[in-house]
Amino acid sequence: MPLATVNGISLNYQVKGDRTRGTDVKGAGPLVVLIMGTGSPGRVWELHQVPALVAAGYRVCTFDNRGIAPSSESATGIAIEQMVADTAGLIELLDEGPALVVGTSMGARVAQELALARPELVRKAVFMAGHGRLDQFQKTLSAGEHELDASGVRLPPKYEAALTAVMNLSPATMADRNAARDWLDLFEFTGGPVTPGIRAQRKMDHDFDRVQAYRGITVPCLSVGFADDRMIPPYLSREVADVIPNARYQEVPDAGHYGYLERPEAVNKILLDFFAA
């Protein structure tokens, strides 16, 4: 991935298209910008969403949000406004806007605020596990996470893997013996110390309520909820769709917070249908 100076920081990004269709050339296909959630690099989109979008004729931009190396870690603190400006600056750098914008979880918040503040850069927007506020459970969970980070305590890898699974996957996935084993092995293998940049992402303001502000969003929007999401319960995602004029809501069954990884075919179809409509 190339590094670019965007909004005063280094931003690690990549743009892909289908060489056989000529969409690997700038402007040869509609640009989709994918915004990842807390603590995850942009390459996570490469597992399922990027191949499906590229095969459908789109150019796809993925990037590492500030806080995720090799983008600037911004360990001294991160604000949502900075992340929105980062994404806007990247779209302007690519000079292929307005773009189709997709975000998940924290990335959905970025996409929501981008659609509100810079509608000229957004053709359509999709918010997966979107939310305009957090309920008491999420606030308490975040506070506990901050305390755990500050304590320096490391959870045993297997226990951390089990917690990650129960908070991010559907019971339907965990009921499948093979799937559960594979996910738990993955979480155990990829766990480890939390970097200063990820800590900065986790410490972003969680006492916000932007629901009514989203009445001002004018671009076409789709809010996608995951039926078994414990991190961002689907009623919060539906709430976002309810306040945005003409926005749609769609829910993916048997999917947790990582629904785009658990149910990629369903999620990819939702994206492609919405973009083509």
Q: Which string of b and e fits 153-182 if b means at least 16 CB within 10 Å?
A: eeeeeeeebbebbeebbbebbbeeeeeeee
- The answer to whether 105 is a known catalytic residue is yes
Listed as own residue / partner, the contacts of 269-277 with beta carbons closer than 8 Å and 24 or more positions apart are: 270/126, 270/222, 270/224, 271/49, 271/52, 271/53, 271/102, 271/126, 272/52, 272/53, 272/56, 274/124, 274/126, 274/222, 274/248, 275/30, 275/32, 275/58, 275/100, 275/124
What is the amino acid identity at position 274? F
Residue 99, classed as helix, strand or coil, is: strand
What phi and psi values does residue 221 have, to the nearest 5 degrees? -130, 145
Active-site annotation holder among 18, 72, 237, 257: 257
- The answer to whether 229 is a known catalytic residue is yes
Active-site annotation holder among 71, 74, 105, 142: 105
Distance of CA 40 to the CA centre of its chain: 9
Q: Report the catalytic residues.
A: 105, 229, 257
